[in-house]
Structure 1
Amino acid sequence: MDVRKLEAFCRVYELQSFSKAGDVMFLSQPTISSHVANLEEELGVKLFDRLGRKVIPTQAGDVLYGNAIKVFANLDRAKASIEMLRDRVVGDLGIGCSTIPSLSILPGMLAGFSKKYPEVSFTIHTHDSSEVLKRVLSGAWPVGIVGQKPEDAEIVAHHLVDDEIMVVAARNASWLPESGALSLAQVASLPWIMRERGSATRLVLERALEGSGRSIQDLTIRCRVEGTSESLAHAANGVGICFTSRLVAEDMIARGVLTALDIPELSGTRQFYLVYHSGRHMFPALKAFVDFNTK
């Protein structure tokens, strides 16, 4: 339904005159009449009775007007909200986040940002890194935090923080070898807790194994999980060992719940990035969030 035609109908309804409605809208009377006639044809009902020089709304006209003024009120609110978004750091900001930064990086970022910009609220979408990058690229999410640098040239990536990767297990696990450096051959036969495909953590593990001439298939996988919290919980209860981030595991290590295994071939660092689409228009809230966390 054409908004301009709907506006013409409302002016006729309110002024009870086609000519007066034309004057208010700076349109000719035939144009106003055409707009109303088109609406009547589209809806299949008569909206006004023309009784001599009088214009009287029909029952259908009353119903349409009652709903039309709600439509225009909503449009006015939308315009006001957009004006506010354009000029002020306000509104809801959607953030896609892979599981490790969702637990260990993002909460601190939001706390600091919220102190400076208290009128911004957040909707957090937690998925693996590949899904976050996919949604940011499609425009579904304005910004994301992931554990792998995007390959697509349309995505801008700002380095946030480095993280140490490690293998952890329950300190009192009965099947755990004695302390000391372990080889891949030794840990391959231990029970593993494995993250889902698409996880940046799993991708780092796959690359580390490939560098040593091995693959995921060489590991004894006891349990498959979809998130970091689940993998750590299973590891803490002795289900198996898991490849994870120091950022999320260090508290459990400090409390003696988990222990880090010394496996030189699987040690190293990784990076986390704040990402957004280069072609996306930045309203103040998004621009402020990017600037606050990358400068």
Structure 2
Amino acid sequence: MELRQLQYFVKVAKKQHMTQAAEELRVAQSAVSRQIRHLEEELGVRLFVQKGRNLQLTPAGSLFLSRAEHILTDLERAVGEVREFLDPEAGEIRVGFPHSVSVSILPAFISCFKKEHPNVKFRLKQGTYTSLIRDVTEGEIDLAIISPCPETHELVKGEVMLTEELLAVLPPNHALAGCKSIRLEQLKEEPFVMFGEQYSLRPIVMNACLKAGFVPKIEFEGDETDTIRGLVAAGMGVSLLPELALRYSTHIEPCVVKVDPKVTRTVGIIRRRDEKLPPVTELFGRFLMEFQPSADPGRPMDRLDGA
């Protein structure tokens, strides 16, 4: 069995069409057909059946596809690790992140890291809490910045980078806008602007409100921090947002007030459990753990050693 046969088989399985697969592989269709036929003869089973103009995997083909993909992924990773070993300053770092991190600390991470390692490339993928864990476990990315950082998980290992405070976000003309600090229960009669149910920040806010003795009345939902900030600033309700996500300015600003009792969330990095990272990614992981929030909103992150 040849590596080329596996590559052709996976491509045909994905495209469900011999001609389209051949075009993407930049080889003749006859070459793809021949390699698929040889593979079926070696396995002693049909991998595809014709369905209209497309090809459909047989049950045996579906079983073989999952194994073939793992083989090719492992091989690609092995080749990448060898190349990075030879030149660790020119590797690629595959990292995922949620939106609340992308607008606050991720640009600082990458900018500072690139100053020290200018030839390293980044492949970035934004996602929700659930999708980031899935992407790490399935090998789509090697690291993910995530919140909250999972304390225990069967497939990923998490390390807490920082714990940040959630602050009350109020319309500028709100009666409590001038306060330095408020009790969370003071917002029990207010309409809330909340992240959607697929976002990990929502249960943190919900649980904090329940502990304060009320169920928040959700009037609006948003998918991004800027959306929620804008709706609150426009007087549509109140919200709780992470401190780091409030360190930059937009054209329309709500009022930000501390909350008592304090509501916090952890921000950490996750990787596949019991699996060695590529050297350059391991280097970036250690780099992330050396950062902490700066007191100066204009400089969002500083090195712990003050460098």
Q: Which residue of 2 aligns with 1:227?
A: 224
Q: Which moved more, 1:181-190 or 1:194-203?
A: 181-190
| Partner Cα separation in structure 2 for residue 156 and residue 79 of structure 1 | 21
Is the 1:95–1:123 Cα contact (8 Å) retained in structure 2? yes
Contact 1:168 1:244 in 2 (8 A): yes
Contact 2:185–2:213 (8 Å) recurs in 1 = no
CA distance in 2 between counterparts of 1:133 and 1:112 reads 25
Alignment of 1:190-209 (within 5 A): 190-209=190-209
TM-score normalised by structure 1 residue count: 0.64
For the pair 1:279 / 2:280, whether they are aligned, the reply is no
Structure 1 alignment gaps of length 5 or more: 6-37, 44-77
Please give the TM-score of this superposition, normalised by the length of structure 2.
Answer: 0.62
Where does residue 32 of structure 1 map in the other structure?
Answer: none
**Matches of 1:112 and 1:148, distance apart in 2:** 24
Q: Are 1:117 and 2:114 counterparts?
A: no
Give identity over the alignment, percent.
Answer: 18
Q: Structure 1's 169 and 277: CA in aligned 2 closer, same or farther, altered over 3 A?
A: same
Q: How far apart are residue 272 of structure 1 and its match?
A: 0.9
Q: Distance in 2 between matches of 1:106 and 1:238?
A: 30
Cross-structure match for 2:28: none
Aligned in 2, Cα 1:116/1:250: closer, same or farther, shift over 3 Å? closer
- After superposition, the Cα gap between the structure-2 partners of 1:42 and 1:84, relative to the gap in structure 1 and judged at 3 Å, is closer
Q: Describe the SS at the equivalent of 1:240.
A: coil
Which of 223, 242, 246 in structure 2 is aligned with 1:245? 242
In structure 2, distance between residues paired with 1:144 and 1:258? 30
The alpha carbon displacement at 1:234 in A equals 1.9
Query: Which whole-Å CA distance do the structure 2 matches of 1:95 and 1:190 have between them?
Result: 38
Equivalent residues of 1:201, 1:243 under 8 A apart: no
In 2, Cα distance between equivalents of 1:137 and 1:182? 41
Q: Kindly provide the CA deviation profile for residues 106-146 of structure 1, in whole angstroms up to 9, marking residues without a partner as x.
A: 11111111112222221222222232123223322210011
SS in 2 for 1:148: coil
Report if the CA contact (8 A) 1:88-1:284 is conserved. Answer: no
Alignment of 1:153-168 (within 5 A): 153-168=154-169
Q: Deviation at 1:237?
A: 2.5
SS state at 1:289 partner: helix
Length, aligned pairs only: 223
Shift of 1:289: 1.0
SS at match of 1:85: helix
CA shift in 2, pair 1:85/1:263, >3 Å = closer
Q: d(CA) in 2 for partners of 1:82 and 1:279?
A: 16
State the distance in 2 between where 1:135 and 1:235 align.
Answer: 32
Which of the two has greater helix per residue?
A: 1
